[in-house]
Amino acid sequence: MVDPTHPRHTANHRPTVSFELMPPRRPDAAPNFWETARRLVAVQPDFVSVTYGAGGGDRATARQVVATLLAGTPVLPIAHLTCVGASREDVSEVIDDFLEAGVRAFLALRGDPPKDQPDWRPPVDGVHSADELVRLLREVESARAAADPSSALRGAAHPLSIAVATFPDGNPAAGTTRAQEVQRLLAKQSAGASFAITQLFYEADSYIQFVAEARAAGVTIPILAGLLPTTEPRRLRRVEELTGVVAPPDLLDALDALPDAEAQHEYGIARSVELARAVLDAGAPGLHVYTFNKHRPALDLLAGIGLLERTEQPASVLTPGAV
């Protein structure tokens, strides 16, 4: 299972490397998606997380992607799991389905309420927070083990690993401050979280100061640095709309002033490499790259900091089937 504090990382000062993939929403996007997945899996990351839409539109595809990664690669898939708008019973069924399929790692997220429904209210019998979701994951796993001794044995051999998200500059969507996010992370840890992955950030101090405050508050789980390669100004602006995380004006101005996409790529990778080195030098146990299903920026970022030394596996290892 995922353990960013495993001796193979700490003893050799080798940080973990991981990627986020977003399942294709249209059939015509599938070929490019699987090409990206092959390229990323080929460098043997520690895990690949697979997003899982809060609205439910891409959930079946997400499950197929996770199943394909489980069956066709040695790389651990982490299944995103959201709970917003769903009943506790429904979420429990989804968890049970994933566990039955052999999934042993999750990223537990509350998810975002629908923006086009101002009067929306969560269901009374719902799972209302990420720490509740972490507890529910542990409860469903325990119930399966109690009902099926063979499940208990499999669980002992492959313990459940639960990641959670955290927001080093506060969460604009939730209106929380950094101090409040530290307390939320502490609650997620108490609920049974194994490690955390940060939302993207643009300044190393955001990560460094957050980790320092979290450790002072009693957070002991590993906190991986989530990074977005800053190669496309349009994407940075779109991410700002989606997350509320503001891209530095000087970065956007510099990218906008460049003559073409290739120049933007080179400049953005250089900035991203500088940021990655800074957080690794500060003790980050690993990097989680938000790829937006583009392999070149992710791999160029890792190459820039010397983390592509692993022997590559054949790109044909994936057989996506019907996805």
Catalytic residue list: 20
Please check whether residue 59 is in contact with residue 52, taking contact to mean a CB–CB distance below 8 angstroms: yes
Q: Which of 229, 139, 113 is nearest to 191 (CA)?
A: 139
Please check whether residue 145 is in contact with residue 151, taking contact to mean a CB–CB distance below 8 angstroms: yes
105 — phi, psi (to 5°)?
-145, 135
CB atoms within 10 A of CB 149: 9
Whole-angstrom distance, CA of residue 296 vs CA of residue 45? 15
Q: Is the dihedral of CA 74, 53, 288, 32 positive or negative?
A: positive
Whole-angstrom distance, CA of residue 2 vs CA of residue 16? 9
Q: Taking CA 207 as the corner, what is the angle to CA 204 and CA 210, rounded to the nearest 5 degrees?
A: 140
Integer-rounded Cα radius of gyration of the chain: 19
The amino acid occupying position 46 is D
